[in-house]
Structure 1
């Protein structure tokens, strides 16, 4: 555990059932001179009526709202730049993101592009954004990325067949609104993938090289909330209690990774998304138990501490036994949540493992945060386990 550590998050968070119904009131607290807002959202939010509801709330307060639904799932650099080219023709006081992780990440990037004379490519990496962006309001509609409280935004680079992040303190939003009701309509497969993504954030933060007392607090509570609710949210999607636990657990996972960061699971997941279009949550879910097994000898103590908040009875167990039970339970979740376990379903072949491992090896920011050194041969071995 490192000696020096820090923590930062969104400026204001409003959470609770039906908090979205007063979203315009919450946004109005950001200032009296708000006249024009850009609402970045996705087609499903239009179909469900959430985007129109928010627009109507804001319009009733005399605020003009432009709605953009052009951000794609797992957006490419080019997609975000095309949207920016369109929306930059107007001037906005606030940018609101309503949707899943891709929408929230894109909203953060659009906000800094509006105030920085830069391209997205020039800010890929850590602390390369020079100036604060347009103030953002983030309203998550999935329980997965925790993007609403992180300084990260992920983009896909098709030419490199990889996903890369923009990491900057200027990506933190002014306001977050967390309403579990917005997640009740999530399809089962998205509930599963995003829920496991959130769990991965918390577990990787807890075992990472940058783990610290602040990140540990958020990580362990996230693990407790998600462990107690992920199967219920999947099997009984209308359970607001389970949905709220997942939403808050996801947020805590984002807070944990903001301080401690993720590690090898994410590094290995990025090429799967960049090259084979495997969604981020599914890629993380597939890799998580196998990377933890690889890390086991370096993290057995930390993993054993996770057993209790996961609901595993450890009385009479050794640390090794408790840690093994943690991995066993993760594997059980992936089975009951119907997470794919065979990379062949996505076109991956044995001959592709070298290329995948090389691509993952370039994600040094995350690999350096892993508690155990991961060499090319290790990455190939982990990928191989997913070729049934």
Structure 2
């Protein structure tokens, strides 16, 4: 355990069934004089009517809605949206959607108040000034972006995803409403749910893990492990959906303090080059990276296995840890997540480039409990080639 660690998250979090219907009660705490609001989302969310309640509570203010957020926002996508609003004045930005929307809302917020480009902000603590207030309302249970100081931007020309990390990306208000997730397709429930589980497990085994991050990580693991299959099989189960959305938030809080590790580092090139959805890439890689790390994290994986009751308290750590890895593999099968990268066009000749790209993501690799060589990374990718 590190002796010094830090934690910072959203200013206020409101959670519960139909919480979004109370948004108007909490907006004055974000900005007392709201006259103009930017709502950021995607077409499907608007078409499903998920914004209707929000609009009803904003009848007395000017509202502009942008639905142009890409599934994996590129720097060009964000710059185009910024160009659309740069001459407008907004008192708050409300992001309603999955991680892509929430990340885009964060970045647009600081672009409005800083004389900086997206490129200037890439990295850690490079944003110069706070943004305009933000309200983040997730409609998936996966990224935890609503409570993290991170935003991910895709650079298609370089086939890379790069992070922006700054406390100025943290929102003023988060609204967690499981009712907004009831209509999620099974594939998105599976991918985002395993993404959230990966955040929690990687934070728990991270070299930067600490007492605070462990608390959030383990609570997240408990909630997700008990609800992910039910949420997948029965998407209208509100209790399972609520556990998933809160578990996802806890995962975001855990990674805010401890950081994710090699799974995420290896996942980003798959998304950047082959358009593998982030949650799918994480789910595919997770058991194989845990197997690589096993000798360094045996006790921790054993703790998780015993906590979620797939191993007995008196069971040897090695045996319990191996059960945990097998449970992850079983979940991916049950959730019908692909396990063959060739389905996405990845071939043996791509392995070298993928490993080189992953090796550059030292911000995450440094958190891994074991050092990975280039050959180690190649071998992990190869295990996912049919």
> TM-score, normalized by length of structure 1?
0.98
SS in 2 for 1:386: coil
User: Which of these residues, 363, 368, 371, is aligned with residue 370 of structure 1?
Assistant: 368
Question: Residues of 1 paired with 2:382 and 2:262: CA distance?
Answer: 15
What does residue range 133-282 of structure 1 map to in structure 2 within 5 Å? 133-282=131-280
Question: Residues of 2 paired with 1:94 and 1:243: CA distance?
Answer: 28
1:301 CA displacement? 1.1
Question: Residues of 1 paired with 2:151 and 2:32: CA distance?
Answer: 29
State the partner residue of 2:85.
Answer: 87
State the partner residue of 1:293.
Answer: 291
State the partner residue of 1:113.
Answer: 111
SS in 2 for 1:144: coil
Which portions of structure 1, spanning 4 or more consecutive aligned residues, are displaced by more than 4 angstroms? none
State the partner residue of 1:55.
Answer: 55
Check whether the contact 2:298–2:321 (CA below 8 A) recurs between aligned residues: yes
Check whether the contact 2:31–2:92 (CA below 8 A) recurs between aligned residues: no
Check whether the contact 2:311–2:323 (CA below 8 A) recurs between aligned residues: no
State the partner residue of 1:335.
Answer: 333
**9-18 vs 30-39, which moves further:** 30-39
Check whether the contact 2:69–2:77 (CA below 8 A) recurs between aligned residues: yes
State the partner residue of 1:379.
Answer: 377
State the partner residue of 2:9.
Answer: 9
Deviations 1:56-93 (A, max 9, x none): 2211xx11110000110011111011111101121001
SS in 1 for 2:20: helix
Question: Residues of 2 paired with 1:35 and 1:135: CA distance?
Answer: 13
Unaligned runs of 5+ in 2: none
State the partner residue of 2:42.
Answer: 42
Question: Residues of 2 paired with 1:333 and 1:326: CA distance?
Answer: 11
1:8 CA displacement? 0.7
Deviations 1:183-221 (A, max 9, x none): 000000000000000000000000001000000000000
Deviations 1:234-286 (A, max 9, x none): 00100000000000000000000000000000000000000000010000000
What RMSD over aligned residues (CA atoms) do the two structures have, in Å? 0.8
Check whether the contact 2:271–2:278 (CA below 8 A) recurs between aligned residues: yes
SS in 2 for 1:256: helix
SS in 2 for 1:308: helix
Check whether the contact 2:20–2:53 (CA below 8 A) recurs between aligned residues: no
Deviations 1:295-319 (A, max 9, x none): 0011111111111232313243111
Count the aligned residue pairs.
386
State the partner residue of 2:123.
Answer: 125
SS in 2 for 1:331: helix
1:329 CA displacement? 0.2
Instruction: Summarize the Cα distance change of 1:315–1:29 in structure 2 as closer, same or farther, 3 Å threshold.
Output: closer
SS in 1 for 2:58: helix
> TM-score, normalized by length of structure 2?
0.99
**371-380 vs 17-26, which moves further:** 17-26
Question: Residues of 2 paired with 1:309 and 1:163: CA distance?
Answer: 34
State the partner residue of 1:353.
Answer: 351
SS in 1 for 2:227: helix
Check whether the contact 1:157–1:274 (CA below 8 A) recurs between aligned residues: yes
Check whether the contact 1:39–1:98 (CA below 8 A) recurs between aligned residues: yes
Unaligned runs of 5+ in 1: none
SS in 2 for 1:185: coil
**315-324 vs 150-159, which moves further:** 315-324
**308-317 vs 207-216, which moves further:** 308-317
SS in 2 for 1:58: coil
1:24 CA displacement? 2.0
